């Protein structure tokens, strides 16, 4: 059987079809890596955590509740794994900005990379609880409902905490001269 959605893929995995688990990995590995990388700011850690996430997913696949999106369940595991590693290490690394945007002048690319590095540095300066919210909402584009599920809090708490996180980041950006006062 060729599964066409995440729930079908999970069901096929549960009956022993390992090819379908490979399909889930192919579908989500890059997305998981990206969010973990944004959380840890370390390429090697992000690779390790991404691998660990898929091992955990495989081990706990039978606990997946199909009434929720598989994607959200997977990201919740990734988030928890990231937080676990970061709590163990208690260290931060520099952003690796080895990407180039096509169609822009070298000056524009440099300015964007510099701004991106400054924003990433500011993001790494705020507390992890705030950083998680900003990354999930503004870098990964999750809805409040998805964030509430991943963080195991109410949507109202997500909104309230995200507001506070934005204020904290804004103050850091202002103090660093990256943005001006309103």
User: pLDDT per residue over 133-171, tens digit each?
Assistant: 888 888 878 888 888 888 889 999 999 999 999 999 888
pLDDT tops 50 at residue 100: no
Give me the residue label for tokens 């524009």: 108
| pLDDT attached to residue 136 | 85
Q: What is the DSSP letter of 140?
A: S
Q: Are 2 and 23 in contact (CB under 8 A)?
A: no
> Token pair for residue 92?
């931060």
Q: Which domains, ranges and CATH numbers included, belong to the chain? A: 1-93 (1.10.1740.10), 106-182 (1.10.10.10)
Helical packing angle, 70-89 and 18-40, nearest 10° = 50
Q: Are 30 and 71 in contact (CB under 8 A)?
A: no
Q: Are 129 and 83 in contact (CB under 8 A)?
A: no
> Token pair for residue 48?
């390790």
Mean pLDDT of the chain: 81
| pLDDT attached to residue 163 | 93
d(CA 80, CA 141) in angstroms, rounded, equals: 18
For the whole prediction, is pTM greater than 0.75? no
Q: What is the pLDDT of residues 38-87, one digit of tens each?
A: 888 888 989 999 999 999 998 898 888 888 888 888 988 988 888 777 76
């Amino acid at each position: 059987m060729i599964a066409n959605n995440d729930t079908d893929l999970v069901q096929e995995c549960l009956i022993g079809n390992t090819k379908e688990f490979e399909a889930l990995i192919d579908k989500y590995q890059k997305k998981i890596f990206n969010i973990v990388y944004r959380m840890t700011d370390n390429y090697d850690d992000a690779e390790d955590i991404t691998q660990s996430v898929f091992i955990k997913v495989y081990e706990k696949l039978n606990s997946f509740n199909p009434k929720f999106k598989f994607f959200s369940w997977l990201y919740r595991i990734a988030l928890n794994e990231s937080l676990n590693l970061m709590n163990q290490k208690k260290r931060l690394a520099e952003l690796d900005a080895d990407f180039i945007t096509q169609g822009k002048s070298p000056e524009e690319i440099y300015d964007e990379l510099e701004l991106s590095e400054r924003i990433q540095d500011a993001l790494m300066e705020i507390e992890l609880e705030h950083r998680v919210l900003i990354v999930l909402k503004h870098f990964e584009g999750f809805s409040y409902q998805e964030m509430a599920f991943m963080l195991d809090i109410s949507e109202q708490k997500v909104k309230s905490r995200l507001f506070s996180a934005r204020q904290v980041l804004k103050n850091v950006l202002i103090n660093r001269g990256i943005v001006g006062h309103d």
